[in-house]
Structure 1
Amino acid sequence: MVLLLPILDLHAQDALINNIYGRARQSLNGTWQYIIDPYETGYYNYRWQERDEKDREAYWNSDVPENKTDRKEHGYNDQYTLNVPGDWNSQKPELLYYEGTVWYKRSFDTPMVGRNEKVFLHFGAVNYRADVYLNGKKLGAHKGGFTPFNFQIPKGMLREKENFLVIKVDNKRFKDEIPTINTDWWNYGGITRDVHLVRVPSTFIQDYVVSLKHDSNVKQHTAEGWIVMSGARTGEGVVEIPELKIKQPLKIQGDTIRFEVKLPGVKLWSPTTPKRYDVVITVGEDVVKEKIGFRKIQVVGKQVLLNDKPLFMRGICIHEEIPEQVRRANGVSDAVQLLNKAKALHANMVRLAHYPHNEKMVQVADSMGILVWSEIPVYWTIDFTSAAVLDKAKQQLQDMITRDKNRASVIIWSVGNETPVTPERTRFMSTLVKFAKAMDYSRLVSAALEVHNVNGIQMIDDPLGEFTDIVSVNEYLGWYGGLPSDCRTAQWQVKYDKPLFISETGAEALAGFHGDSLTRWSEEYQAWYYREQVNMMKRMPDNFVGLSPWILNDFRSPRRNNPVYQEGWNNKGLYDHEGKRKQAFYVLKDYYDFVEKNWQTKPLVKRKKN
């Protein structure tokens, strides 16, 4: 069960509303007008002071001159438009590498709003900072490029016609942000996910969770959960699961309701049977409905158990990107495309790197039966000494968990990737692990650590491993050091008596470039790398529970500047820029076929003790 924690008020946002797609809503997706503003002229005056709210030259105010003598130095028109959701880099050639401010504007008419209804403006994500203005008034600001946020619209602010909505979007990188300046992916800017007006009753269901009780047994499964109301009240409600003929009354006292529900005859969610049930919660005038699967994930000794059975994770890492169109992924069709590629590999799990992906990605994984590792962008070299940065990381972790805690597919919350070992970093990261566990003890918590080669021994002794549920490491033996054949003599030592997961491994190959297996950058070298890795995996210690190689698709990265073999692309994908499979795809698929047939029925191989 997820425990309720107070929302961290870091960005002047209102508490997140759960299940936006199950609410009365009006989409504001579509064509928005824009202004590129590298000097932030619309925000600051020439003395570099923030403009007054009523400043007529502020870009959040009307661009229509009052009369023929009126001077306006900004304007929105249909000559300059961007699609929302979407990144600006892929839509306009001049914005390919742009990092800075772009103002988005669209007009809309007010929906029919009941006298006792509240209206929220909800964003799936905006990268990175969003300042939100409606009809010349600031609703608030938010930081974080991959997490949702919403603002309540005050009574009287909405107009019947032609509401003037302006978003200042700034994707500049800073040392004291999450992620920090240094990353290995494209910094796609813009309103990258859905925008909605959401209508709810004056007293409404703010948040809720329904999940399998952790100590539930096969003889009598039980669900538990809680409901948080916006606006304390007394009264009655009901939780229903129609397919299981469950209709349980709720007694409402205050703003938080806790409950347990017996689940006779329930079918548990798993990759082979991703069964979900319509769960309907009614409190007063508010009704929410959502498809929810019930499953249990836990660590017992050196194994990960899914529904009390040993689990081997046949994974693959994924960036939220469609390489065939060189853009940020969003929506159902993109999620289906990416996850179908993973299914073709015979993967049963995906690591969504290195940030929370869009909500549809996790929902589709739920329906397709694909396990999910979900991660916040605490990446490489953030400022681990800063309490403010830690608060930002906590906020993003909280928002990720709040959004996806009812998704059965999500089994691992990750608090970061490849962070350097220092006492300050370990305190920072272990705080995040504890924070995640306090919010949700029904899932595993991990982080992608690094493995170090010490005299030929692959040593895993990162002190953060003491705090995580599984020990996850990124290793590139044969790419960033040595040759793939070094895997043949590699020995592994793990300090912690916990399940071991390889969270990354991989090598680059330019699709269509061929040579012998020793020719780096060739498809043959990448295939050789995977063959040696696979053989090494078969000799791993007996706590080895899976892997998620790097990566499904080639993806854009400004760090990758070899003029022949990269040209701004990280080409470690098993699929190339055009969606074609490289040779290494088939090596990994064969291994996953082998594991799928042999796991739980007989030992994969006789493993050696290192």
Structure 2
Amino acid sequence: MNFLLVSVAISTSAFAQWHPVGDKIKTAWAEKIDPQHVLPEYPRPLMERSEWENLNGLWNYAIQKRGESLPATYNGQILVPFAVESSLSGVGKRLNEDQELWYNRSFNLPAAWKGKRVLLHFGAVDWQTDVWVNGVNVGRHTGGFTPFSFDVTAALTKGANQLLVRVWDPTDKGVQPRGKQVAKPEGIWYTPVSGIWQTVWLEPVPETYITALKTTPDIDQRQLQIEVQTNAATQLGYIRAEASVYDGQRLVSSGASVNGEPVRIAMPADMKLWSPDSPFLYTVKLRLCCNGKEVDRVDSYAAMRKYSTKRDEKGIVRLQLNNQDLFQYGPLDQGWWPDGLYTAPCDEALAYDVKKTKDFGFNMIRKHIKVELARWYTHCDRLGVIVWQDMPSGDRNPECRTAAISTEPSLSVLLSPKRSIAKSGKKLWIVSTPILASVYGCPLMKPGDNSKRRK
């Protein structure tokens, strides 16, 4: 493929030209959007680093026939990370299965990042994504709900770097997990969401760095276990992971591990448990050391809590939180916005939905066949709301029974038992392990039960 690299020259007048399109209902936050500072908050609350660059904003876009080469010209500008069909994108156009959506923009790296590796992160893109940096193919991702990243260090150059993204999304003409998206929305079915719909960002990392965290609280054993994954494939004996747990500024406990073993931290007898009435979160600070020298550090948080079931004296199964019966009640949350579709206009709006749910007296939200932004789950954690997480489905049987696993394997962690997961920076659920995780049109499965999963 021959690449004609077209940079994005974003001027003050260009920003002034952006506005929501269409005549559909808008939220109160729509008019407050600043195209120069779109969703500026750190997108991965469970694994924070101090240095990063947000690439949200106005990009060039083009809609072309599938299979055609790089566009010679672009149709206009789109406000990332809002889906092309949304009002807030400034475009409001639909795609079909025979079309592809192209994005283009340029970026410069801070001088302080010299000598570091650079990761390019996408919070989520629906559905099949190909990415080039300076004409170099850096990777492909298939799936519309989960985060992904590429190490783009070898493709970078001094000065302006060109980023090109191509997306194909057949919506309901395919069998991929798509939730309630359909080409012709009506009734309970909603507008398609195609392309970038979560934050795009750059992050500098050292040669050896932390790639993922998985925290598992055990209140019965008063232990917090943290699995620290790194990019190191060998010499694990030289790598030491250290974790410190804080209550505010006060150090509560700490632990360390080598050889790729989990860090197991003994919690005090008076540890604070998380509940909807008292949603306490411990601050967790992690260090990665090689040969005694710190090479990476990230900030995280953890909740000491336990979800389980128990039969009462009449033999009725009861849901329990922290070994106590808890009646869980809440709405079936669709996670759709009239102006941003999958994407909330701002972080304040994202938190508002959770806060109002709590204000109405609910202690739980069932997130309906959509995986949310990582910050939404963190808002639930901080505000004290349990999450029941549906698996996004394709609503085609029997194809959908295998599509969720075969086309987007990372969604399978939704069925993992008793876990709080930060995989590539996105915790698919962090507030609760659902008693049942469901794929619409497919059998119900208890977490960890693979007996009903098709081979």
Q: TM-score range by the shorter chain?
A: 0.7 to 0.9
Partner amino acid for 2:365? V
| Equivalent residues of 2:255, 2:263 under 8 A apart | no
> How far off its partner does 1:269 sit?
0.8
Change beyond 3 A, Cα 1:329–1:94: closer
Change beyond 3 A, Cα 1:145–1:385: closer
Structure 2 residues not aligned, in runs of 5+: 1-43, 183-188, 290-294, 312-316, 416-420
Which is helix-richer, 1 or 2? 1
Are residue 296 (structure 1) and residue 306 (structure 2) matched? yes
> How far off its partner does 1:320 sit?
2.1
| Equivalent residues of 2:176, 2:403 under 8 A apart | no
Question: In structure 1, which of residues 194, 206, 211 is the aligned counterpart of residue 211 of structure 2?
Answer: 206
Residue 532 (structure 1) aligns with: none
Residue 478 (structure 1) aligns with: none
Residue 170 (structure 2) aligns with: 172
Partner amino acid for 2:178? P
Q: Aligned equivalents of 2:179 and 2:387: distance in 1?
A: 24
Residue 56 (structure 2) aligns with: 29
| Equivalent residues of 1:397, 1:415 under 8 A apart | no
Change beyond 3 A, Cα 1:196–1:413: farther
Q: Aligned equivalents of 1:118 and 1:190: distance in 2?
A: 26
Are residue 377 (structure 1) and residue 404 (structure 2) matched? no
Partner amino acid for 1:279? V
> How far off its partner does 1:239 sit?
1.3
> How far off its partner does 1:81 sit?
0.8
Per-residue CA deviation, residues 6-25 of structure 1 (Å, 9 max, x unaligned), is xxxxxxxxxxx994543521
What SS is found at the alignment partner of 2:434? strand
Q: Aligned equivalents of 1:394 and 1:409: distance in 2?
A: 21
Q: Aligned equivalents of 2:428 and 2:404: distance in 1?
A: 27
Per-residue CA deviation, residues 90-129 of structure 1 (Å, 9 max, x unaligned), is 2368744433421111100123365653211110001112
Are residue 85 (structure 1) and residue 78 (structure 2) matched? no
Residue 268 (structure 1) aligns with: 273
Q: In the TM superposition, what are the counterparts of 1:152-301 in structure 2 within 5 Å?
A: 152-155=151-154, 157-173=155-171, 174-179=173-178, 184-213=189-218, 215-216=220-221, 221-231=222-232, 232=234, 233=236, 234-243=238-247, 245-253=251-259, 255-284=260-289, 285-301=295-311
Higher relative contact order (CA 8 A, sep 6+): 2
TM-score normalised over the length of structure 1:
0.56
| Equivalent residues of 1:182, 1:380 under 8 A apart | no
Residue 321 (structure 1) aligns with: 336
Partner amino acid for 2:440? E
Per-residue CA deviation, residues 29-57 of structure 1 (Å, 9 max, x unaligned), is 111111121x13xx43xxxxxxxxxxxxx
| Equivalent residues of 2:84, 2:91 under 8 A apart | no
Q: Aligned equivalents of 2:390 and 2:319: distance in 1?
A: 19
Residue 34 (structure 2) aligns with: none
Q: Aligned equivalents of 2:56 and 2:435: distance in 1?
A: 29
Q: Aligned equivalents of 1:398 and 1:335: distance in 2?
A: 24
Q: Aligned equivalents of 1:199 and 1:355: distance in 2?
A: 30
Change beyond 3 A, Cα 1:414–1:134: farther
Q: In the TM superposition, what are the counterparts of 1:90-105 in structure 2 within 5 Å?
A: 90-91=86-87, 95-99=92-96, 100-105=99-104
| Equivalent residues of 2:59, 2:104 under 8 A apart | yes
Change beyond 3 A, Cα 1:169–1:394: closer
What SS is found at the alignment partner of 1:266? coil
> How far off its partner does 1:379 sit?
4.5
Residue 314 (structure 2) aligns with: none
> How far off its partner does 1:265 sit?
2.4
Partner amino acid for 1:246? V
Residue 477 (structure 1) aligns with: none
| Equivalent residues of 1:175, 1:383 under 8 A apart | no
Change beyond 3 A, Cα 1:408–1:124: closer
| Equivalent residues of 2:47, 2:213 under 8 A apart | no
TM-score normalised over the length of structure 2:
0.74
What SS is found at the alignment partner of 2:126? coil
Q: Aligned equivalents of 1:415 and 1:223: distance in 2?
A: 25
Question: In structure 1, which of residues 392, 412, 415 is the aligned counterpart of residue 434 of structure 2?
Answer: 412
| Equivalent residues of 2:175, 2:400 under 8 A apart | no
Q: Aligned equivalents of 2:90 and 2:429: distance in 1?
A: 38
Q: Aligned equivalents of 2:159 and 2:177: distance in 1?
A: 38
| Equivalent residues of 2:83, 2:195 under 8 A apart | yes
> How far off its partner does 1:202 sit?
1.0
Change beyond 3 A, Cα 1:375–1:387: closer
Structure 1 vs Structure 2 CA RMSD: 3.1
Residue 19 (structure 2) aligns with: none
What SS is found at the alignment partner of 2:407? helix
> How far off its partner does 1:185 sit?
2.6
Change beyond 3 A, Cα 1:237–1:147: closer
Across the two proteins, how many residue pairs are aligned to each other? 377
> How far off its partner does 1:222 sit?
2.1
> How far off its partner does 1:146 sit?
1.4
> How far off its partner does 1:161 sit?
1.6
Partner amino acid for 2:196? I
> How far off its partner does 1:180 sit?
8.1
Residue 312 (structure 1) aligns with: 327
Per-residue CA deviation, residues 248-299 of structure 1 (Å, 9 max, x unaligned), is 342422x444423223422111111111111011111111111222111111
Change beyond 3 A, Cα 1:393–1:158: closer
Per-residue CA deviation, residues 548-594 of structure 1 (Å, 9 max, x unaligned), is xxxxxxxxxxxxxxxxxxxxxxxxxxxxxxxxxxxxxxxxxxxxxxx
Bigger Rg over Cα: 1
> How far off its partner does 1:189 sit?
1.6
Change beyond 3 A, Cα 1:134–1:382: farther
Change beyond 3 A, Cα 1:339–1:246: closer
Q: Aligned equivalents of 2:131 and 2:280: distance in 1?
A: 39
| Equivalent residues of 1:110, 1:159 under 8 A apart | no
User: % of aligned pairs identical?
Assistant: 21
Are residue 108 (structure 1) and residue 107 (structure 2) matched? yes
| Equivalent residues of 2:318, 2:325 under 8 A apart | yes
Per-residue CA deviation, residues 156-193 of structure 1 (Å, 9 max, x unaligned), is x1122221101112222243322389753321222110
Per-residue CA deviation, residues 131-155 of structure 1 (Å, 9 max, x unaligned), is 1111111111112111111111142
Q: In the TM superposition, what are the counterparts of 1:329-478 in structure 2 within 5 Å?
A: 329-330=343-344, 331-384=346-399, 390-398=405-413, 401=421, 402=423, 405=427, 408-412=430-434, 415-419=437-441, 425-426=442-443, 430=445, 436=448
> How far off its partner does 1:309 sit?
1.2
Residue 7 (structure 2) aligns with: none
| Equivalent residues of 2:414, 2:429 under 8 A apart | no
Per-residue CA deviation, residues 388-438 of structure 1 (Å, 9 max, x unaligned), is 66422543233895355596523327643431xxxxx54xx65xx56x569
Structure 1 residues not aligned, in runs of 5+: 1-16, 45-57, 60-72, 420-424, 439-462, 468-610
What SS is found at the alignment partner of 2:410? helix
